[in-house]
Amino acid sequence: MVFRYFLLSLCLVFINCKNKQPESSVILDVSKVKLSYAKGFEITHHENFSTLTIKSPWPKAEKAYRYALVHKNMIPKITLNKDEFDGIITIPIEKIVVTSTTHIPALELLEIEESLIGFPGTDYISSEKTRFRVDNGSIRELGKNESVNIEVLLEIKPDLVIGFGIDGNNKTFETIKKAGIPIIYNGDWVEHSPLAKAEWIKFFGVLFNKRQKADSIFNTIEKNYLEAKSLALQAKNKPTILSGAMHKDNWYLPNGTSTEADILKDANVDYLWSNTKGSGSLALNFEVVFKQAKHADIWINPSYYTSYKDLESANQHYTTFDAFKNKSIYTFANTTGATGGVLYYELGIARPDIVLKDIIKICHPDLLTDYEPYFYKPLN
């Protein structure tokens, strides 16, 4: 009996001590957002806030950036240690500045495009919906991404700036942070697969408290992509594919481990450099490309050239390729917005399912009889 009372007393002391423990500023992890493809970021939901970790803001990044995302209703109720985070962000975001056209489709898909109040280089914006807001003055011009107009930025007072960096050495971004405006780097472009890049819509979903909507949108994109990939396997022939064009002394084209090559693989075609590896584009001399691709069935993405006349004027040797002779060259450079921005560079990352269907239609037209390519068009 004495032993039982001893145990009971011990339990009461333990419980009492547990209840009197000081409150921790960081709650234990509750759940992580499922990411099926993306490797560059991570979202973890805690009891009173979420953490957003950017693991790969740029290639070979040595530092991960960790942000606390706190709903505005919880701000007065919790205390976080600022030293544990690279920023504490109040969500949902109401006013935002993004710095790449690839960020705009996520805002439109989530139906939060009206939160965008500034952008560096508005002429590059192609979307009709967002261009309308540029034209009516709702989105301010911020100059160039490398030197954002700080005075205008401070005037419009965004809750957050979404930046991207090549190496983290952006003095303008440092100035913005010192002015009290938080910056989060978006590393969608560093991902190594088309669906991984598209999955970054979940990054915007958590910032705007639109997690379920972001999940639903991505699931639809993934479903469309995988169905198109499965359809391409029915093709009886695999046309040979050449890509790119000369710039000065080099012909630049995607390496075999790039997202562009992934899409060509999923379209069930024979990309002539599919076995190459590396980061960035391949840079080859003309003779090497000509030897390998003179008889290629189809030529896609001939740099910024928009017509056969432009290609011929730039280099007479282009006319010796079979794809030129057979008028089998396709480009996305002719699909532009009102001020000349190329739509592919805006929407292509967010919608790889559309890009894949375009390539399938070009290379296996009998598989998508009623489909009209969205980005890719025959060269003029």
For the chain, domain boundaries: 31-221, 233-378
Contact 336, 342 (CB under 8 A): yes
User: Which residue matches tokens 């009623």?
Assistant: 370
Between 344 and 3, the more confident residue is 344
**Of residues 353, 316, 354, 315, the one with CA closest to residue 335:** 354
Reported confidence tier of residue 278, pLDDT bands at 50, 70, 90: confident
Backbone angles phi, psi at 200, to 5 degrees: -70, -5
Question: For residues 242 and 362, what is the distance between their CA atoms, to the nearest angstrom?
Answer: 13
CB of 164 closer than 8 Å to CB of 187: yes
Average pLDDT of span 260-279: 94
Reported as a pLDDT band with limits 50, 70 and 90, residue 31 is: confident
Of the candidates 325, 331, 337, the residue with the CA atom closest to the CA atom of residue 378:
331
**Which DSSP symbol is given to 320?**
G
Does residue 32 register a pLDDT over 50?
yes
Query: Would you state the pLDDT for residue 17?
Result: 41
Mean pLDDT value across residues 368-372: 94
The tens digit of pLDDT for each residue in 169-193 reads 888 888 999 999 999 999 999 999 9
Where helices occur in the chain by DSSP H, the ranges are 2-19, 104-109, 128-135, 150-156, 171-178, 194-198, 201-207, 211-232, 259-266, 286-293, 308-314, 322-325, 344-347, 352-363
pLDDT for residue 13: 37
- Would you say residue 110 has pLDDT above 90? yes
Domain made up of 233-378: CATH architecture: 3-Layer(aba) Sandwich (3.40)
The token pair that represents 378 in the structure block: 């025959």
CB 137 within 8 A of CB 78: no
pLDDT value at position 280?
A: 78
Contact 171, 194 (CB under 8 A): no
Q: Which residues pair with 23 in a beta bridge?
A: none
> Who wins on pLDDT, 171 or 324?
324
More confident residue, 300 or 20: 300
Mean pLDDT of 279-302: 95
**From CA 209, how far away is CA 188, in angstroms rounded?**
19
Proportion of the chain above pLDDT 70, given as a percent: 92
Is residue 268 within 8 A of residue 241, CB to CB? The reply is: no
What string of DSSP letters covers 3-41?
Answer: HHHHHHHHHHHHHHHHHTSPPPSSPPP-EE---SS--SE
**Percent share of the chain, pLDDT over 90:** 81
Rounded CA gap, 290 and 199, in Å? 37
Mean pLDDT of 337-343: 94
Q: Residue 352 and residue 216: Cα distance in Å, rounded? A: 16
Asked if the domains at 31-221 and 233-378 fall in one CATH topology, the answer is yes
Mean local confidence (pLDDT), 200-207: 97
pLDDT at 9: 41
Residue 6 has pLDDT above 90, yes or no: no
Q: What is the C-alpha to C-alpha distance for residues 194 and 262, in angstroms, rounded to an integer?
A: 7
Q: Above 90 in pLDDT, residue 30?
A: no
Query: Residue 127 pLDDT more than 80?
Result: yes
Task: Judge whether residue 62 has pLDDT over 60.
Answer: yes
> Under a CB-based contact definition with an 8 Å cutoff, are residues 91 and 74 in contact?
no
What pLDDT is stored for residue 7 in this prediction?
37
What's the CATH code, domain 31-221?
A: 3.40.50.1980
Half-sphere exposure of 170 (CA within 13 A, CB side): 21
User: Collapsing DSSP states into helix, strand and coil, what is residue 44?
Assistant: strand
Which tokens go with 190?
């560093």
- Say if residue 217's pLDDT is above 80: yes
Query: Cα 146 to chain center, whole Å?
Result: 19
Q: What is the pTM of this model?
A: 0.89
Q: Is the pLDDT of residue 19 over 60?
A: no
Full strand arrangement of the beta sheet holding 116-119: 140-141, 116-119, 96-98, 160-163, 183-185
Which carries the bigger pLDDT value, residue 224 or residue 4? 224
Mean pLDDT of the chain, nearest integer: 90
Residue 210: is its pLDDT beyond 50?
A: yes
Lowest mean pLDDT among 110-114, 173-177, 334-338: 173-177
Is residue 331 scored above 60 in pLDDT? Answer: yes
Q: What is the three-class DSSP state of 335?
A: coil
